[in-house]
Amino acid sequence: MTPELSQRLSAAGLDPQDVENLVHTALDEDGETDVTSTPIFAPEHTSTGDLTAREAGVVAGIPVACAVFEALDVAYQPKAEDGDHVVPGQTLISVSGRTRAILRAERTALNLLTHLSGIATAAHKWTKALEGTKAKVRDTRKTLPGLRALQKYAVRCGGGVNHRMGLHDAALIKDNHIAAAGSVTKAYEAIRSVYPSLHIQVECDTLAQVEEALSVGADSILLDNMTDAQMTEAVRLVAGRAELEASGGLTLDRARDVAVTGVDYLAVGALTHSARVFDIGLDFT
């Protein structure tokens, strides 16, 4: 990988080596020989082409797609930046090189670019819905194996914010932890005794659990499947002493109603597990 591309990925908060490994894994899935292109095009045959947006939205994954082309010695020229709002017909990347290599790179580059741009576009829609409130849309750990860093990066490109990256960087006491430990207090105290400075969030199904979580000193409280009225009351009870995050069954249509209750975050797993791919195509010029 060239130093320039490596720097672009690092600046985006991505590990260049992880991206390079992912690219090679994806390319390897297609096998060593393209039995369609090899008989048609001589090794020295060259082409140029453009990756073009076919709908309006927010793009993410430009340097990742470039890493695919670079891996196959295809020259590329980015025409857009991650986080850009693009329109139908807008060129995102121009490529040139051996025709066989471009066609081999095409699907892998598009798979990554359309998926990440779909997430960014979805995150942007939620961000727009929350404008004028203090609430922000936040992702979850409901990500595809091996793609978490990229998917969470795409959320940031769309204006959303990230929750914890994994089980290692913050504690989230959920219903099964509470059931097995015996109470919110017991679960919280067990974690705090081992990790005195760790951020601890507690999932609460009832206002009574909210009061208990607050009493033990939870840094953040997840309001799980609560009504708007219950969340409004939770905001009153907490009075700024902990972060509040709404979760469970949230939809874009309901987003603003939830935000005006006063919560700090809306947890939306659909950003990463159900985002529709963004329509992008590669056409030879």
Token pair recorded at residue 275 = 């985002």
Burial of 130 (0-12, 13-18, 19+ CB in 10 A): buried
Distance CA 165, CA 174 (A): 17
Handedness of CA 136, 140, 143, 147 (dihedral sign): positive
Catalytic residue among 54, 142, 186, 254: 142
Q: Is 107 a catalytic residue?
A: yes
For residue 108, give every residue at least 6 positions away whose Cβ sits within 8 Å of its Cβ, in sequence order, or none.
Answer: 23, 26, 27, 30, 68
Q: Is 84 a catalytic residue?
A: no
Nearest CA among 101, 163, 131 for reference residue 255: 131
Distance CA 113, CA 62 (A): 7
Q: How far apart are the first and last CA of the chain?
A: 26
Q: Is 32 a catalytic residue?
A: no
Catalytic residue among 128, 134, 174, 241: 174
Strand, coil or helix: 79: coil
Catalytic residue among 50, 203, 245, 264: 203
Contact at 8 Å (CB) between 13 and 161?
no
Contact at 8 Å (CB) between 115 and 277?
yes
- Helices 207-216, 228-238: crossing angle, 10 deg rounding: 20
Catalytic residue among 107, 141, 186, 192: 107
Catalytic residue among 20, 82, 224, 245: 224
Q: Is 203 a catalytic residue?
A: yes
Q: Residues in the chain, how many? A: 285
Catalytic residues, which ones? 107, 142, 174, 203, 224
